[in-house]
Structure 1
Amino acid sequence: MTTYEKLLLENKAWAQEQKEEDPDFFNRLSSLQTPEFLWIGCSDSRVPADKITGTQPGEIFVHRNIANMVVHTDVNLLSVLDYAVNHLEVKHVIVCGHYGCGGIKAAMTNQDFKPVLNMWLRNIKDVYHQYMQELNDIKNEDDKTDRLVELNVKEQVMHLAQTSIIQRAWKNDRRPHLHGWVYGLKDGIIKPVLEVQPGDKIDPLYEYDNL
């Protein structure tokens, strides 16, 4: 049996188990999606949003990319954000990074990862540059990486607040709340590092008029 065939077999077993435990599970799931949360997380396979939060299918709308970035030219991210905020009307948007992130580690080096990945990691390098003095004062490399993980999450949350999508929802509906979290691979615990309330002041340069 190949590895992908094993996935299909496990899927059938899982579906059967769900129906035995809750006969109406799939009927309910197929007719309704009303998540309260949008989760912007890392693509790392060790950080599945539903598992680490103990939530069920339908409770979290998820977008994942390398190092949980909010890049203003990323149409994929922005379309997910627009749909979650304006159509699903989520109440919370969570950016969740994780300690030991490979994307963060890669961005801290001068290695050439070839054009596309270099372009993506450049966004993390910009965060490093912004906090260079603080980070360079940290001598332990693991501690420095962990701190950049936290700072990167904070910056991505602020990138959310700088979008017209979020600002318009804040003005019209007083939602969503924005959260920056970091997940610990070593202990499984999520650490909150930033919270931004609807309508909180941001740099006026990024504020939109006439929303």
Structure 2
Amino acid sequence: MQFFDRLLLENRAWADDMKASDPEVFQRLHQGQSPAALWIGCCDSRVPAEQICNAKPGELFIHRNIANLVHEDDANVSSVLEYAINALEVDHIIVCGHRGCGGIQAAVSGGDALQALPYVDRHLGQVKRLVAEHHVALEQFSQLSQKVDHVVELNVIAQVERLAEMRLVTDSWQARRAPSLHGWVYDLASGHLDEVCRREVEGSGSESAEPDWQRAAAG
């Protein structure tokens, strides 16, 4: 059986199982969505957002790109943010990176790693700048994998900081004191998620919404 034929069959089996446990599930989903969170994750096939969080259909609004980046000039990510914040009014935005990320490794390795992938190379520009900014700290790690995993965390923190400066987010903080921003890292070896940072607005009724910055110790 061809791979794509198997996927179609698996879809039917999945739909039947869903209806067996909850006969009205697809009727409810057809009526609309009200996800609690926007997930900005990596495209890596080993990091399926709903499965690693054990989330149900309709609970996560998802955007994925290589190395889970936020580009202000990227119409794709900006439109996703706009819809999630202004139309769906999500309460949380999660930026999730993962250890062993191939995009991060390419940026850390440098050299000829990205010559054959010019679009990927351009996309990873901000990661390469991040590596350059932290090159002294990265020298303490003797193994490439350790450097990569450290940059994975730095990159997640950088994306949360970038989100916190975007007008879409700051306007929403002023209007409804949401969404809170969360930086997570997924460990492929254990299947566990760890929080590395969080940013949320505290208080209510003030003229300026100042974000409270929390950096968690990596697990």
TM-score between the two structures when normalised by the length of structure 1: 0.92
What does residue 145 of structure 1 align with?
A: 148
Gaps of 5+ in 1: 203-211
Mapped partners of 1:39, 1:95: distance in 2: 6
User: Match of 1:168, SS?
Assistant: helix
What does residue 32 of structure 1 align with?
A: 32
* 1:190 counterpart (193, 196, 200): 193
What does residue 176 of structure 2 align with?
A: 173
Q: RMSD in angstroms over aligned alpha carbons?
A: 1.3
Deviation at 1:116, TM superposition (A): 1.1
What does residue 81 of structure 1 align with?
A: 81
What does residue 217 of structure 2 align with?
A: none
* 2:138 counterpart (135, 140, 153): 135
State the 4+ residue runs in structure 1 displaced beyond 6 angstroms: none
Q: Which amino acid aligns with 2:89?
A: E
Conserved 8 A contact 2:200-2:212: no
What does residue 62 of structure 1 align with?
A: 62
Q: Deviations over 1:67-116 (max 9, x none)?
A: 00011111100100010011100000000000000000011121213321
Q: Deviations over 1:7-49 (max 9, x none)?
A: 1111111111211221101001111311110000000011011
* 1:158 counterpart (158, 161, 176): 161
Deviation at 1:133, TM superposition (A): 1.5
Q: Provide closer, same or farther for how the CA distance between residues 161 and 110 of structure 1 changes in structure 2, counting only shifts above 3 A.
A: same
Deviation at 1:137, TM superposition (A): 2.4
What does residue 98 of structure 1 align with?
A: 98
User: Match of 2:158, SS?
Assistant: helix
- 2:127 is the alignment partner of 1:124: yes
Q: Which amino acid aligns with 1:56?
A: K
Gaps of 5+ in 2: 202-209, 214-219
Deviation at 1:141, TM superposition (A): 1.8
Conserved 8 A contact 2:37-2:91: yes
Conserved 8 A contact 2:40-2:93: yes
Q: Which amino acid aligns with 2:141?
A: I
What does residue 207 of structure 1 align with?
A: none
What does residue 48 of structure 1 align with?
A: 48
Conserved 8 A contact 2:63-2:80: yes
Conserved 8 A contact 2:104-2:151: yes
User: Match of 1:187, SS?
Assistant: coil
Mapped partners of 1:70, 1:35: distance in 2: 20
| Identity level (%) | 45
What does residue 16 of structure 2 align with?
A: 16
Mapped partners of 2:53, 2:123: distance in 1: 28
Segment of structure 1 superposing worse, 37-46 or 11-20: 11-20
Deviation at 1:201, TM superposition (A): 7.0
Q: Which amino acid aligns with 1:84?
A: A
User: Match of 2:122, SS?
Assistant: helix
Segment of structure 1 superposing worse, 49-58 or 111-120: 111-120
User: Match of 2:174, SS?
Assistant: helix
What does residue 111 of structure 2 align with?
A: 110
TM-score between the two structures when normalised by the length of structure 2: 0.89
Q: Provide closer, same or farther for how the CA distance between residues 201 and 27 of structure 1 changes in structure 2, counting only shifts above 3 A.
A: closer
Deviation at 1:140, TM superposition (A): 2.3
